[in-house]
Amino acid sequence: MPIPSVDAVPARAELVDHLVRTRIAGDVATPRENNLSHYRRLANGDRHYWFGLELGDRWTDEQDVLAVMAERCGVSDDPHHRSGQDTIDPELTVDALDRAAAVLHKAAAGRQRVLFATGHPGGLLDVHRATAEALRARGCEIVVVPDGLQADDGMVFQFGEVAMLERGATLWHTHSPAPMAAVLDGLERAGRPLPDLVMADHGWAGCAAQRGIDAVGFADCNDPALFLAEAEGTLRVTVPLDDHVRSPRHYDPLTAYLLKAAGLL
């Protein structure tokens, strides 16, 4: 999407309605049993669900994980609700967008170095790309990843100023922190400064936050790690949303709202 005009920005109530209608929030497609399975696996120490974060033994009770997800994402807090529909609270989504906007506003004011990355190229690529374009227009340096980076049997490439994993000429959906680790290690090997801010999702965001870099992340209701990281103060903001709805265009009003709130339009 191009950088939207101010006239195209929805008011908060309009955005909340849009999020519910498109199932970015509200009654989302991710079923309750999938959410609870992921919370349990994270609590049981399965690193696949830690997204590159070091959670130690602080989240070994899945009910504690559920409590955070109810508070910060808006899933049902009823431990007896084991299957069927689950939810993301659209008000929490917009609240998080406002927090993310404050971080982006600070980045623009300081002309920071910002790195964008996504493990959900089919859904969130344009959200990141439009934000990168808006920050570049305000004088920020959008970090260019080094050439030749490899991770998880693929290559780390950058399209539209957004880093992604590519395998066999296909952009890859990945939760892994390894691609972000490859980027950060590659920058250090090249003697280049690390980013001041990372805007990403999945393990891309988790790895950056774990390394002490300010990070804003998008996360679905079955991806608890980033919400726990925000609760602990490791990650600056986690925005709850369904990260792959039917059309990537459904995210355009969300992006417009974010950029307007950040003062980037």
- Contact assessment for residue 107 and residue 264, using Cβ atoms and an 8 Å cutoff: no
pLDDT digits (tens, 9 = 90+) for 136-147: 999 999 999 999
Question: Cα dihedral angle (97, 102, 107, 109), rounded to 10 degrees?
Answer: 140
Distance of alpha carbon 179 from alpha carbon 5, whole angstroms? 34
H or E segment to which residue 106 belongs: helix 90-109
Instruction: Please state the pTM of the whole predicted model.
Output: 0.96
Which DSSP state fits 24?
Answer: S
Distance of alpha carbon 235 from alpha carbon 226, whole angstroms? 7
- Contact assessment for residue 187 and residue 213, using Cβ atoms and an 8 Å cutoff: no
Across-strand partners of 201? 218
Note down pLDDT in tens along the chain; length 265 residues.
Answer: 666 666 689 999 999 999 999 999 999 999 999 999 999 999 999 999 999 999 999 999 999 999 999 999 999 999 999 999 999 999 999 999 999 999 999 999 999 999 999 999 999 999 999 999 999 999 999 999 999 999 999 999 999 899 999 999 899 999 999 999 999 999 999 999 999 999 999 999 999 999 999 999 999 999 999 999 999 999 999 999 999 999 999 999 999 999 999 999 9
Neighbouring C-beta atoms of residue 265, cutoff 10 Å: 17
In this predicted structure, what is the pLDDT of residue 207?
Answer: 98
pLDDT digits (tens, 9 = 90+) for 5-63: 666 899 999 999 999 999 999 999 999 999 999 999 999 999 999 999 999 999 999 99
> Among candidates 115, 96, 113, 77, which has minimal Cα distance to 231?
96
